[in-house]
């Protein structure tokens, strides 16, 4: 696999373990890592993650913790022992929650979710947040970085601003990526070429691949897009 395509992580949003394992068998040589989120984890738990870990690919454990510091620390300890490459929390859990998890992690990189890619400016109004999405994402990212995060999740459209504001080794994770199909619940979307050109460190792609009748074909096409649009400055 071309090394740049190591940036592509597939979101395994499945409940069924057998189906997930069969799917990983198909894609394992063409992705940089595997993202396991709430759907997989609430059905299959720690034992399920251990089964997926056996493939030897980096695991992005997307559990989006958001609770009081004590609860998050204890829950995080239960999964940090799995040594996932990445673990997510919500930045709006606040400074003390983030500092707490940053202080107990070992080799796992803690990634903060800024504003979900399923939200847009109108949703911020509903949530009584008096900011444009790019400004809101930037402020949350700065708080996260100062509190000890290794990286953030944002949409591709905020990357330019974030890359200027954050240290060089900071990790920029971008979901909300469409390719030849549109996921209707995602609002702040982009495509693989734009994501890589904008300096994304990890592209998270789920249903575009997992719901396809030929996942490997879509995966190869996405990997070609990534390679074609890669710029050496990333």
User: Which residues in this chain contact ligand C5P in the complex, by CB under 6 A?
Assistant: 11, 13, 37, 62, 113, 116-117, 153, 175-176, 183, 186, 204-208
Using CB atoms, what's the residue nearest to ligand C5P? Answer: 206
Name the E strands within 14-138.
Answer: 33-36, 59-65, 86-90, 109-113
Decide whether 147 or 191 has the Cβ nearer to ligand C5P. Answer: 191
Helix (H) or strand (E) holding 209: helix 207-210
Decide whether 70 or 220 has the Cβ nearer to ligand C5P. Answer: 220
Find the shortest distance in angstroms from Cβ 232 to ligand C5P.
27
Find the shortest distance in angstroms from Cβ 96 to ligand C5P.
22
Decide whether 147 or 183 has the Cβ nearer to ligand C5P. Answer: 183
139 is catalytic: no
Find the shortest distance in angstroms from Cβ 7 to ligand C5P.
15
Q: Can you tell me the distance from the alpha carbon of 40 to that of 42, in angstroms, rounded to the nearest whole number?
A: 6
Cβ neighbours for 137, distance < 8 A, ≥ 6 positions apart: 114, 115, 152, 154, 155, 158, 161, 162
Find the shortest distance in angstroms from Cβ 113 to ligand C5P.
5
Find the shortest distance in angstroms from Cβ 183 to ligand C5P.
4
Cβ neighbours for 84, distance < 8 A, ≥ 6 positions apart: 49, 59, 60, 61, 108
Quick one: DSSP state of residue 174?
E
Decide whether 147 or 210 has the Cβ nearer to ligand C5P. Answer: 210
Cβ neighbours for 18, distance < 8 A, ≥ 6 positions apart: none
Q: Can you tell me the distance from the alpha carbon of 171 to that of 163, in angstroms, rounded to the nearest whole number?
A: 10
Cβ neighbours for 166, distance < 8 A, ≥ 6 positions apart: 141, 142, 145, 152, 172
Q: Can you tell me the distance from the alpha carbon of 159 to that of 136, in angstroms, rounded to the nearest whole number?
A: 13
Catalytic hit among 18, 51, 53, 64:
64
Decide whether 202 or 233 has the Cβ nearer to ligand C5P. Answer: 202
Residues known to be catalytic: 64
């Amino acid at each position: 696999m071309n090394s740049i395509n190591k940036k592509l992580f597939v979101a395994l949003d499945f409940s069924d373990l057998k189906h997930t394992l069969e799917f990983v068998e198909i894609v394992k040589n063409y992705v940089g890592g595997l993202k396991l989120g709430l759907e997989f984890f609430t059905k299959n738990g720690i034992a399920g993650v251990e089964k997926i870990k056996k493939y030897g690919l980096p695991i992005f454990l997307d559990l989006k913790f958001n609770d009081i510091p004590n609860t998050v620390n204890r829950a995080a300890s239960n999964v940090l022992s799995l040594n996932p490459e990445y673990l997510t929390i919500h930045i709006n859990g606040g400074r003390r929650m983030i500092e707490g998890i940053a202080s107990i992690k070992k080799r796992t990189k803690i990634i903060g979710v800024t504003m979900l890619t399923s939200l847009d400016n109108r949703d911020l109004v509903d949530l009584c947040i008096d900011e444009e999405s790019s400004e809101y994402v930037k402020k949350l990212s700065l708080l996260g970085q100062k509190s000890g995060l290794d990286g953030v999740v944002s949409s591709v459209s905020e990357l330019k601003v974030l890359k200027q504001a954050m240290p060089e080794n900071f990790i920029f994770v971008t979901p909300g990526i469409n390719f030849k199909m549109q996921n209707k619940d995602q609002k702040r979307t982009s495509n693989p070429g734009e994501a890589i050109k904008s300096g994304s460190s990890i592209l998270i792609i789920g249903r575009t691949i997992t719901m396809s009748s030929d996942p490997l074909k879509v995966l190869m096409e996405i990997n070609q897009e990534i390679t074609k649009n890669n710029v050496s400055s990333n």
